[in-house]
Structure 1
Amino acid sequence: MAGQQHHYQVRVQWQGGRDTGTTGYRDYGREHQLSAPGKAPIEGSADPAFLGDADRWNPEELLVGSLSACHKLWYLHLCAEAGVIVLAYEDHAEGEMDAALGRFTRVILRPHITLSADSSEQRARELHEKAHENCFIAASVNFVVECQPVFVRKGACHG
């Protein structure tokens, strides 16, 4: 993989001109659509705190989602190589942004992972650190990305 260049093209088309454009901060919509060739579009806007539409994805949510998805993809890859059998994976990721600083301060990944009965939980836990080291998105941000995994076993009793 070293030395390979990958290129990504995304089109962002603003939909909030409202015939008046940017005549004032409250006069235009934040609605936009993200698209890429051959993929379903994503309806986007700003965070409602910045006059956006709460029913659409905002860039902050997409950043948190990108970190979560990248970590998950690396984690599953590493588990497959290590013989750790993951049967289910669901992350409950959260990001913290300080608007006064104008940046994210951290993201916490909270994956809930179901392992097969014979998979090593210790090894499964260790692979999260390696997944973080390999995640392209995490390596590209300037804030802390924490991982707090929770493991369960398929068929295990919960009390």
Structure 2
Amino acid sequence: MAEHHFYLTADWKGGRDGEGRISVGNLQAPISVPKEMNGPGVGTNPDEMLIGAAATCYLITLAAILQNRGIGVSDLHLESEGIVIMEGSSPRFQKIIHRPRITLEAEAAEEQIETVVVLAERAEKACMVSKAVQGNVEVLVEADVVIA
């Protein structure tokens, strides 16, 4: 079994309203509590990073599944939404909704649309990040598949 290690370093100055910086692989970014949660809103934050991790994992997994099935895609676009709720005074990440727009190549058959919708759902279940949050965060897919 292959084992992969990823390392992140972080620095922080101040209390809850402070600011920090993270560095992990190709990502170096300032961090803080988001404005929506009464923070300074400087740089990114855990909520954006979780939705970013879920979205990029889903998108890469979906692209790989479509390629492995030999399905020609002319464009693959994704919009993802993260929903955080307050439970008393504690925030909780409730839901992530992925909305892929998959444009099949012009020569695709109409019947492929239904297959691609099923594969879009399957990609969410195969995504490593979705598996990691399973049971804690609901992840939904609302796929839109069209032919160019």
TM-score of the aligned structures, taking structure 1 as reference length: 0.79
Aligned pair 1:115/2:104, yes or no? yes
Corresponding residue SS for 1:71: helix
Q: CA deviation at 1:94?
A: 0.7
1:84–1:123 contact (8 Å) kept in structure 2 = no
Identity of aligned residues (%): 26
Query: Which structure shows the higher helix fraction?
Result: 2
Aligned pair 1:147/2:135, yes or no? no
Which residue identity lines up with residue 138 of structure 2 in the other structure? V
Corresponding residue SS for 1:105: strand
Which residue identity lines up with residue 151 of structure 1 in the other structure? V
Which residue identity lines up with residue 35 of structure 1 in the other structure? S
Q: CA deviation at 1:90?
A: 1.8
Q: CA deviation at 1:45?
A: 1.4
Task: Note the 1:76-155 alignment, pairs <5 A.
Answer: 76-100=63-87, 102-119=91-108, 120-141=112-133, 142-154=136-148
Distance change in 2, residues 1:126/1:118 (3 Å):
farther
Q: Which has the higher contact order (CA 8 A, sep 6+)?
A: 2
Query: Which structure shows the higher strand fraction?
Result: 2
Q: CA separation in 1, counterparts of 2:50 and 2:118?
A: 24
TM-score of the aligned structures, taking structure 2 as reference length: 0.84
Which residue identity lines up with residue 146 of structure 1 in the other structure? L
Q: CA deviation at 1:44?
A: 1.7
Q: Report the number of matched residues.
A: 141
Spell out structure 1 runs of 4+ moving beyond 4 A.
none
Corresponding residue SS for 2:128: coil
| Residue 157 of structure 1: aligned partner | none
Q: CA RMSD in A?
A: 1.8
Compare 115-124 and 71-80 and name the one that shifted more.
115-124
Which residue identity lines up with residue 120 of structure 2 in the other structure? H
1:71 to 47, 58, 69: 58
